[in-house]
Structure 1
Amino acid sequence: MDTRAADLADNLTGWRQPRRSAPLSEVYRTVAVPRLGGNLRKFAAFFGPGYLVSVGYMDPGNWATSIAGGSKFGYTLLVVALVSNIMAIVLQSLCARLAIASGRDLAQACRDAFPKPVAVPLWLLAELAIVATDLAEVIGTAIGLNLLFGIPLEIGVLITALDVFLILYLQRIGFRYLEAFVIALLGVIAVCFAVQIALADPDWAGVIRGFAPTTQIVTNPEMLYLALGILGATVMPHNLYLHSAIVQTRSYGHSLPEKREALKFATIDSTVALMFALLINASILILAAAAFHTTGRSEVAELGEAHSLLSPLLGAAIAPTLFGIALLCCGLNSTVTATLAGQAVMEGFLNIRLPAWLRRLVTRMVAIVPAAVVTIWYGESGTARLLILSQVILSLQLSFAVIPLVMFTASKAKMGALVAPAWLVGFAGLIAAVIVSLNVKLLLDFVIG
């Protein structure tokens, strides 16, 4: 069966309308998967998308919530990072399953499964999530530029628009080059945090206790607010749309055995990458707890303040420099993946094909305008509050991406032989229920408070 016939076959089962175009069509199935050879060689072809997804789990917004949580509550919220990561692994595996089984990304699936009165609000909510995501990346990158090079925040916000051209260049020479760029920056981030953690010398017994559940997180409204911020910064809506699109950059074939093999390797890739993301997220919180909470500085929430305090508290001049480098790398990486997700959301929901440079520039401008206004009007303290708020907004939007994802992957009519097993559907349903319940609790606390 040729590619066109196979795609047509995917379009005719269980959906209200057929898939009209390929996800991220300029890079769709451009990475070859060897048909012969061992598992290691085949897995190498799938190595990459998981790391692009993992970037969203350690973005500058996550830094803000983790630093605030670590400085105020010590190691207590480490369990939230762990639980969030487990949720992420399950949900991202469902994204890969949806993409490989149906040939659609999550945005296309929503468009093809729901009537317009449902699909259009879902699109608007997805766009709001993209804006909140991009806002965090823009502010984080600008703060990184300010910390390292002294560039004013207002100018740094504008400079972040230039990454559009970097993305275009890397994608033009090959999607693998874009993945290599992201993975290289992740390596730099890991080295920076390894050195900082060694300098901070945390209480490892306290770290281990921090991974144990406690009811205090739910009963303390302030702790719940930060916990939801960490959840929103970890399990991010745009990652669900992104992963289901970039998995399909692999040319994995159309037969059922080939799809099963692709699903296996894609799931391994995302799981390993997300465990790496947990390591970075935990490092941020541990660093904040060891450097700030234990020294009585429990109100540190601003990235600039954290940067300036690291040198005197850790006794090493290199610590704040490493912090700034890691933050800038996170910001650059996150802007790459957020703009790709924005492209997938707009194209998937609306079937609009804008030029790549225009789509990315529009996405970036929507985030740059509010970021510039806040930095000019309120300064650095305003950006810190905006970062944490953006992550809570993401958490509130999460239900509207997770529930359709679970519905689609549980449907045999839509997924065929690759429908999610009952235990996985049950686990994913529990995750969706937890997310909805926590968001309702947050809203009630806000209204009552």
Structure 2
Amino acid sequence: MNANEEARLDASNPGWRNPSNIPSLPEVHKSLKVPLKGNFFRKMLAFAGPGYLIAVGYMDPGNWASDLAGGSMFGYTLLFVIMISNVMAILLQSLSARLGIATGRDLAQACRDHYSKPVSMGLWVLCELAIAACDLAEVIGSAIALQLLFGMPLIAGVLVTSLDVMLVLLLQNKGFRQIEVLVISFIAVIILCFGVELFLSKPDLGQVMGGFIPTWSVMQNPEMLYIALAMLGATVMPHNLYLHSSIVQTRKYGETVKEKKSAIRFATLDSTIALMVALFVNAAILILAASAFNSTGHTEVAEIQDAHKLLTPLLGTGIASILFAVALLASGQNSTLTGTLAGQIVMEGFLNIRLKPWIRRLITRLIAIIPAIIVIGVYGEGYTGKLLIFSQVILSLQLSFAVFPLVKFTSSKLKMGPFVAPKWVRILSRTVAVIIAILNVYLLYGTFF
């Protein structure tokens, strides 16, 4: 095989049960040009964007409860858990980008083209449950934010969040870059809010730095261990692995081996930088809880509403509570945008069928809104925290069913050709996959028993 033939090697043929013939997200597939020539920074900016859509899943409302609980109960001790979680996320998201660029498939399409139809359908059902659970957290998070900011009843807030369908449709018609710009703008709002919160809370910098150093004391305290495992096991969002493998293909990179390898490098750089931003946000939530709550004896703050209520008297200014609620609203809306795309990718990838975006979004939203309204209506608003925790349990349950196929595909020379993951990455990713599986089994056992 000469260089040109190898350059156009279609990794879809030799190692896959079915051929690849429909691109992922065809309406935006390779719609954004990247410079074939130019300096490093021009290319980096051209590839920047997908990573920030991925980072949204690592700072969504579903993650806030565990960060608040960890900080209020144990101070800065569990910051190292957030850091380890982030390293795992960077590794898995880099594999997701590699799969999409190398094979021209997203993870859902790859599963359909590799596994038998019954297995593929089972994976699809599990993934749809995970997306519905994630959407449930977004709905509740946004509704809580609207209640905190405007006094809106939670049920009304849940219904209002369903209107974001129109926003998503409008942005999709304007082009994929517009979605990226809006997501990055929301992330900037979240960073600004927590930057001010950290300034107001005046955390102990020495203890903050010490919190990033792993400690064995976590193994000696069952309650601390459980919170740590919850933070670690529920950090990686399964739908993000499907999403990333698709949206990296919105860039119009070339088809040669050299061009694809370059695209993989820049896509990995993009997601790594974006996930470092997510690390800051998650660490900021925990640091805020540690400095504002733990240091003042409020060691049992796990509900978002309780945190909002306590920030003003503890920090001495009403702006603290307002910024907290604004960041929560931005987080919920951001997660909504990426959840919409993930739902479309999963349904089209596994089933090889297409629905109009508004129909797909409406189905997903109804699945999330109905249980939220029932729980709030029957049990009252005090059960929203339990509903958030339940959504994270569902996500944890599904995670390994996305991680193991991803690691399997990207470790296969037959499927990936010259783009197969390096040996050290294969070893590390398999280790992470096993660790995540063990943690999630432990989490499920602890939650139910």
TM-score using structure 1 length: 0.95
Please name the residue that 1:3 is paired with.
none
In the alignment, the residues of structure 2 paired with residue 300 and residue 51 of structure 1 have an alpha-carbon distance, to the nearest angstrom, of 29
Q: Does 1:308 align with 2:309?
A: yes
Matches within 5 A, 1:33-432: 33-218=34-219, 220-432=221-433
Q: Displacement, 1:412?
A: 0.6
3-state SS in 2 of match to 1:19:
coil
In the alignment, the residues of structure 2 paired with residue 44 and residue 116 of structure 1 have an alpha-carbon distance, to the nearest angstrom, of 40
Greater displacement, 419-428 / 32-41: 32-41
3-state SS in 2 of match to 1:253:
coil
Check whether the contact 1:342–1:363 (CA below 8 A) recurs between aligned residues: yes
Greater displacement, 274-283 / 286-295: 286-295
In the alignment, the residues of structure 2 paired with residue 431 and residue 215 of structure 1 have an alpha-carbon distance, to the nearest angstrom, of 20
Amino acid across the alignment from 2:390? L
In the alignment, the residues of structure 1 paired with residue 380 and residue 221 of structure 2 have an alpha-carbon distance, to the nearest angstrom, of 29
Q: Displacement, 1:321?
A: 0.6
In the alignment, the residues of structure 2 paired with residue 399 and residue 143 of structure 1 have an alpha-carbon distance, to the nearest angstrom, of 30
In the alignment, the residues of structure 1 paired with residue 338 and residue 199 of structure 2 have an alpha-carbon distance, to the nearest angstrom, of 30
Count of matched residue positions in the alignment of Structure 1 and Structure 2: 443
Check whether the contact 1:232–1:393 (CA below 8 A) recurs between aligned residues: no
Please name the residue that 2:23 is paired with.
22
Amino acid across the alignment from 2:388? L
Greater displacement, 34-43 / 44-53: 34-43
3-state SS in 2 of match to 1:386:
helix
Q: Displacement, 1:213?
A: 2.0
Q: Cα deviations across residues 1-20 of structure 1 (Å, max 9, x unaligned)?
A: xxxxx999343131011113
Amino acid across the alignment from 1:334? S
Greater displacement, 401-410 / 7-16: 7-16
Greater displacement, 130-139 / 435-444: 435-444
- In structure 1, stretches of 5+ residues that fail to align are 1-5
In the alignment, the residues of structure 2 paired with residue 235 and residue 191 of structure 1 have an alpha-carbon distance, to the nearest angstrom, of 24
In the alignment, the residues of structure 2 paired with residue 443 and residue 230 of structure 1 have an alpha-carbon distance, to the nearest angstrom, of 13
Q: Displacement, 1:217?
A: 3.5
Q: Which runs of 4+ in 1 moved over 6 A?
A: none
Amino acid across the alignment from 2:334? N
* Residues 217/379 of structure 1: CA separation in 2 closer, same or farther (3 Å cut): farther
In the alignment, the residues of structure 2 paired with residue 96 and residue 274 of structure 1 have an alpha-carbon distance, to the nearest angstrom, of 14
Q: Cα deviations across residues 246-265 of structure 1 (Å, max 9, x unaligned)?
A: 11111112111110111011
Amino acid across the alignment from 1:69? G
Check whether the contact 1:140–1:328 (CA below 8 A) recurs between aligned residues: yes
In the alignment, the residues of structure 1 paired with residue 280 and residue 308 of structure 2 have an alpha-carbon distance, to the nearest angstrom, of 20
* Residues 261/191 of structure 1: CA separation in 2 closer, same or farther (3 Å cut): same
In the alignment, the residues of structure 1 paired with residue 188 and residue 300 of structure 2 have an alpha-carbon distance, to the nearest angstrom, of 30
Check whether the contact 2:66–2:302 (CA below 8 A) recurs between aligned residues: yes
Greater displacement, 191-200 / 110-119: 110-119
Q: Displacement, 1:445?
A: 4.2
In the alignment, the residues of structure 2 paired with residue 116 and residue 216 of structure 1 have an alpha-carbon distance, to the nearest angstrom, of 47
In the alignment, the residues of structure 1 paired with residue 160 and residue 172 of structure 2 have an alpha-carbon distance, to the nearest angstrom, of 20
* Residues 365/236 of structure 1: CA separation in 2 closer, same or farther (3 Å cut): same
Check whether the contact 1:232–1:392 (CA below 8 A) recurs between aligned residues: no
Q: Displacement, 1:398?
A: 1.2
Check whether the contact 2:28–2:176 (CA below 8 A) recurs between aligned residues: yes
| Identity fraction in percent | 61
3-state SS in 1 of match to 2:101:
helix
RMSD: 1.6
3-state SS in 2 of match to 1:234:
coil
- In structure 2, stretches of 5+ residues that fail to align are 1-6
TM-score using structure 2 length: 0.95
Greater displacement, 376-385 / 168-177: 376-385
In the alignment, the residues of structure 2 paired with residue 220 and residue 397 of structure 1 have an alpha-carbon distance, to the nearest angstrom, of 27
In the alignment, the residues of structure 2 paired with residue 339 and residue 232 of structure 1 have an alpha-carbon distance, to the nearest angstrom, of 23
In the alignment, the residues of structure 1 paired with residue 42 and residue 113 of structure 2 have an alpha-carbon distance, to the nearest angstrom, of 35
* Residues 357/144 of structure 1: CA separation in 2 closer, same or farther (3 Å cut): same
